[in-house]
Copies of this chain bind each other. A is one copy, B any other.
Amino acid sequence: MLNSRTPSVKDVAAAAGVSLGTVSNVMNRPEVVSARTRERVERAMAELGFVRNESARQLRAGTSRTLAYVMLDGTNPFFHDVAQGIELAAEDADLSLFICNSNSRAEREEAHLDRLLQQRVQGILITPVNSEAPYLYDLTRRGVPLVIVDRRRDDESCCSVAVDDVHGGRVAIEHLAEQGHRRVAFIGGPESIGQVRERLQGSREVWAELGLPADDLVYLPTEALTVAEGRSAGERLAGLPARRRPTAAFCANDLLALGLLQQSIGAGLRVPDDLAIVGFDDIEFAAAAAVPLSSVRQPRQELGRAAAQLVLDEATNPDHEHQQLFFTPELVARASSRAR
């Protein structure tokens, strides 16, 4: 019953009474083989339960059928949405997607990249721990199509897809100012993350343009962009003397905002009346929060899809040129920041 070995093209060829090459043609160029033989071969395949060996295919053909995405933080739904966008594009191109998670650790990231190199994936999409890491430059030197997602590089040595974070910071603060807030907290960190810096920069820019005193935009640094850090920021916020306490907070991402929201409500504050909150990313759960969260929306799936298209272009188009794609995020105002 159990056929020790899984059947190969050779077995199929024998069963169908044709040559190896013909079986291969049936799989790869069905138009060159006559309907009659094609059918015979297909029947043989079905009967034997033939499954093409991808390693052999790839070895000989030299081209793999997979893309890979190395995401930064598996606990943040944002990245899964990006991955979903990539997956859709990959599906269209009839490719598989390998999803890895570096968990913000450079060493894991490097290990994953090493594996992917061994697999000879067609292209790599990555939201890196550090977009200037030398091993990333190695990839490009090796000629591996590479797209940096949701980050950027100063030089333009590879494609990237990102969102205008400075602008994102601007619209968030603008909105809060419009709602009448005159003392606002910026919550986020560590500053080593480019995103955080730029969102903060945008916030400060527009704050200054509105002629508001710099001191009244309070920077509350955090250790990471997590729910727990959001809660702890909330505690620090509550600890400020009433006079100094902001009436609104702009968080560098939604996880922070969700943590802050929870802590605030738990502490008996009314949101948005006592504290207005705006997040960043607009993850699914932002809208589902008890007080639906205002957030600066990133086109998450679009980001992924666009990145996949760039990497495919680099992989297949001989005169590909690196591009830096930019999306403009927009504010989605919900209950957590509206009307005082």
| Contact surface of A with B, Cβ cutoff 8 Å | 2, 6, 49, 51-56, 58-59, 64, 74-75, 77, 80, 83-84, 87, 96-101, 114-115, 117-120, 138, 141-143, 227, 258-259, 261-262, 265-266, 284-285, 288-292, 335
Contacts and interface: CB of A to CB of B under 8 A. Distances in A.
A120 B55 contact: yes
B120 A96 contact: no
Contacts of A97: 100
Contacts of A258: 285, 288
Contacts of A99: 98-99
A259 B288 CA distance: 6
Main SS class of interface, A: helix
Nearest to A52: B118
Given A53-B118, A227-B285, A289-B289, 8 more contacts: A49-B142, A54-B118, A55-B56, A84-B101, A87-B101, A96-B115, A265-B291, A266-B292
Contacts of A292: 262, 266
A84 B80 contact: no
The interface centre, meaning the residue of A56, A118, A261 with most chain B CB atoms within 10 A of its CB, is: A118
15 contacts: A2-B143, A54-B118, A54-B119, A59-B59, A74-B80, A75-B284, A96-B115, A97-B100, A227-B288, A258-B285, A259-B288, A261-B290, A262-B290, A265-B290, A290-B290
Contacts of A80: 74-75, 80
A98 B66 CA distance: 11
Contacts of A261: 290
Contacts of A143: 2
Contacts of A98: 96, 98-99
A289 to B, nearest CB: 6
Contacts of A101: 84, 87
Given A258-B288, A262-B288, A288-B258, A120 B53 contact: yes
A233 to B, nearest CB: 14
A51 B289 contact: no
A317 to B, nearest CB: 17
The interface centre, meaning the residue of A55, A64, A100 with most chain B CB atoms within 10 A of its CB, is: A55
A120 B288 contact: no
Contacts of A49: 138, 142
Contacts of A100: 96-97
A334 B115 CA distance: 42
Contacts of A96: 98, 100, 115, 119
Nearest to A141: B2
A20 to B, nearest CB: 16
Contacts of A84: 74, 101
A114 B45 CA distance: 14
Contacts of A335: 266
Contacts of A118: 51-54
A52 B120 CA distance: 9
The interface centre, meaning the residue of A52, A83, A227, A290 with most chain B CB atoms within 10 A of its CB, is: A290
